[in-house]
Structure 1
């Protein structure tokens, strides 16, 4: 995985972006990362194949899904 730590902020919280090296991140690494984000009040956007996913509160997930639905990047260029 390639991790862009605090690539952007959402409502004052850092958002880490993870892109896999290969098709998808290994499940063990993804599990560790989501645990780390939970413990440290960080949000996460990650990619599996061509699809993006958001990890964090429901409002964050909805916002990221909306951006993607409008054809924007998850970080809202």
Structure 2
């Protein structure tokens, strides 16, 4: 599953086989919008803010790193500005992606961008060069 290639059980409004969903990725997935302590404002609901946020997707030096993935090709400027401000205020690095489109179709791979301390940015570049799987 990736943008343009949704889960075959997706109805567009939910899962048609929710009771039998697999643990990974379905049961392990925690959209930041629905977590009980979500800091996301009402307008950042994925269908409005056009972004899916996953808080604490990985750790760097013991610090939680958040991930933001666009609903569509890229995260809208207003949503991205909010996420960057949240990252700065909470001193949490942010990884965000942009979809790669070839011949009008979304690809599985995504362009990865980073917002955070220079040391984190350098570490992420090193991880990518080493082929380390980020998530």
- TM-score normalised according to structure 2 size: 0.52
Alignment correspondent of 2:94: 44
Alignment correspondent of 1:20: 70
Runs of 4+ in 1 over 4 A off after TM superposition: none
TM-superposed CA distance for 1:72, in Å, is 2.9
- TM-score normalised according to structure 1 size: 0.87
Count of residue pairs the alignment pairs up: 75
User: Please, which runs of 5 or more residues in structure 2 have no aligned partner?
Assistant: 1-50, 100-109
User: Please, which runs of 5 or more residues in structure 1 have no aligned partner?
Assistant: none
Structure holding more strand per residue? 1
Q: Give RMSD over aligned pairs.
A: 1.3
1:17-52, Cα deviation, whole Å (9 max, x unpaired):
111111000011001110011001111000012210
**The structure with more radius of gyration:** 2
